[in-house]
Amino acid sequence: MHGDLDEYKFFKEATLHICGSLHVQEAIDAFYTFIQDWIPCDEVEVGYYDNLTSTGMVLANATCKPELSSAPMARYSKSEWQRYRDALFSSGSDSFYINDFETADPIFALVERLHQSDHKNKSSLFIPLSMNDQDLGLIIITTYKAHAFTRDHTHLTNLLHAPFAIAMANWSQHLTLIQYKSDLEDDCRYFQKALRKEAGTHVIGSEGGLKEVMKMVAKVAVTDSPVMILGETGSGKEVIANAIHASSNRKQGPFIKVNCGAIPENLVDSELFGHEKGAFTGASKSHRGRFERASGGTLFLDEVGELPLHAQVRLLRVIQNQELERVGGTHPIPVDVRVISATHRDLAAMVKGRTFRQDLWFRLNVFPIDLPPLRNRPEDIPDLAHHFVIEKLSALRRKTPQVMTEGALDRLLSYSWPGNVRELQNVVERELILTPSGPLNFESLTPQQPAPSGQTDDEETPETLNQAMARTIHKALVACNGKVQGKGGAALRLGINPSTLRARMEKLGVTHKKKALHQT
């Protein structure tokens, strides 16, 4: 039908249209316009074979008669596609045509009927696609005329097998990557939502012992200034860092935590700043560090005082320049990161002792927040304990609620909590394990309130305990607007019997009248 020159022109131009776009619909639209000058064509359809599910689907089609075409992304059943696939690839040809579906393999007529197509008045050219012994799919060129195709047409479509096979492999990979991207974005949204739900802007104690801390959080969250959270181990520094991130303009970005004390010294640079392939023995591929992963969000450097001096130098440079070089890298990588640090160490003393860089300390300590230990905010203990009981009951898959006994609160308030909130969490979990059902009494706890220097335990402990109990009851009454018992009352909030609460209030001189409450 065409000479050698025409065949070359056909192959070249067809390949340019077929492989001209990674978006399958764009490529097929371009090919559809081109092919009409060479072959009778009213529709071009791309069928894709999914090797994972052994099913097929229509990826795209282009037609001048959309009312007669198959629906894009329409799926075949597994058995239908298997029969269809066997018939397609059994011919052994790069392409073949059917001018009369009534005399062809019945599966072709069945597929046409499934797609509500009038197969009696059409002819189709099929190009089964395979590569490296793997079936990829097929291309169907259709005209709405009977007996329209000849061997001259298949002579041309045979030339298109290789370009279409390469394009199909690329299209499928591109679609897979798009799906992966969609999945990752969905995962990101899910985990951000879970993070906000878990940590969010609500912190237990925000209206109690952490009220002043949360005021500072609200002020600094809306900025990008570095924050240094100072507090004892287990006091909840990560919770405060989470709250800052969740209230910031970066809340849609990642929140990446690094425990600087848990990384081996020889891996600190790689973990924080990443490395290039071949940078050191065992670096078989490039690796993004925590700074790169946190770009657009917040990086939380927990226990920053544990960083070795060589890592402190690089950290300072990244914070100053907002760019980094991976280990073994030669070009700078820009990063947009808000840094929140935390430590239980005295960094000022470390600076004097030359174990922490003064210039880095100045950079990180722009907005320090001192987090009080749990022993200095006993009013938060009841709410924290109730929270951990509910949390651990769920983790232990127990459906029956367990409550604290009347003496449990006394024991929790009498304890000094050297391990802070983390220790309280562990104590609650241990008590639930030891008490598989029924009320919790925490009998294993004994008062360990340390006395200030120059005073004995006998002189200080009773007074400190009474003050703590009075302050806790007062806070609960204020929160409950003076209500002692019933729903929304202080007794329910504290987890004790109303009569016990009234007796304790009388002993400690705590009033429940609204006017007196707000005057104290």
* Torsion sign (Cα): 341, 256, 323, 275: positive
Greater confidence (465 vs 349) lies with: 349
Least confident residue range of 349-363, 366-380, 444-458, 462-476: 444-458
In a domain, residue 323? The reply is yes
Give the pLDDT confidence score for residue 494 in this predicted structure: 75
- 165 and 16 fall within a common domain: yes
Question: With 60 as the cut, is the pLDDT of residue 196 above it?
Answer: no
> Cβ neighbours of residue 510 under 8 Å, at least 6 residues apart?
470, 473, 474, 477, 504
- 170 and 24 fall within a common domain: yes
In a domain, residue 283? The reply is no
* Cβ-contact 101, 109 below 8 angstroms: yes
* Helical residues (DSSP H) of 209-323, grouped into ranges: 211-221, 237-246, 268-273, 290-293, 309-321
Q: pLDDT confidence of 456, banded at 50, 70, 90?
A: very low
- 351 and 381 fall within a common domain: no
- 237 and 271 fall within a common domain: yes
Domain boundary among 372, 392, 420: 372
- 224 and 162 fall within a common domain: no
Q: For the whole model, what pTM was predicted?
A: 0.54
In a domain, residue 181? The reply is no
Query: Cα–Cα–Cα angle for 270, 272, 278, nearest 5°?
Result: 20
Give the pLDDT confidence score for residue 219 in this predicted structure: 96
Question: With 50 as the cut, is the pLDDT of residue 1 above it?
Answer: no
Over the stretch 228-273, which tens digit does the pLDDT of each residue have?
999 999 999 999 999 999 999 999 898 999 999 899 888 899 999 9
Residue 263 CA to residue 284 CA, distance in Å, equals: 20
Q: CATH number of the domain at 330, please.
A: 3.40.50.300
Over the stretch 156-175, which tens digit does the pLDDT of each residue have?
989 899 899 999 989 888 88
Per-residue pLDDT, averaged over 438-462, amounts to 58
Over the stretch 387-421, which tens digit does the pLDDT of each residue have?
999 989 888 888 888 888 878 888 999 899 999 99
In a domain, residue 195? The reply is no
Q: pLDDT confidence of 141, banded at 50, 70, 90?
A: very high
* Cβ-contact 50, 59 below 8 angstroms: no
- 34 and 138 fall within a common domain: yes
In a domain, residue 180? The reply is no
- 217 and 164 fall within a common domain: no
* Cβ-contact 431, 440 below 8 angstroms: yes
- 250 and 301 fall within a common domain: yes
Domain that holds residue 428: 374-448
In a domain, residue 413? The reply is yes
In a domain, residue 30? The reply is yes
Least confident residue range of 51-55, 71-75, 403-407, 486-490: 71-75
Question: With 60 as the cut, is the pLDDT of residue 194 above it?
Answer: no
Over the stretch 97-116, which tens digit does the pLDDT of each residue have?
888 887 788 788 777 766 65
Domain boundary among 323, 342, 372: 372
In a domain, residue 106? The reply is yes
pLDDT, mean over the chain: 83
Q: CATH number of the domain at 167, please.
A: 3.30.450.40
Question: With 60 as the cut, is the pLDDT of residue 185 above it?
Answer: yes
Residue 517 CA to residue 482 CA, distance in Å, equals: 7
Domain boundary among 123, 155, 175: 175
Over the stretch 26-42, which tens digit does the pLDDT of each residue have?
999 999 999 998 999 99
Q: CATH number of the domain at 401, please.
A: 1.10.8.60
Torsion of CA 178, 184, 190, 196, to 10 degrees: -130
- 73 and 123 fall within a common domain: yes
For the chain, the domain total comes to 4
- 160 and 122 fall within a common domain: yes
Query: Cα–Cα–Cα angle for 400, 401, 403, nearest 5°?
Result: 145
- 307 and 393 fall within a common domain: no
- 365 and 378 fall within a common domain: no
Q: pLDDT confidence of 473, banded at 50, 70, 90?
A: confident
Residue 434 CA to residue 412 CA, distance in Å, equals: 17
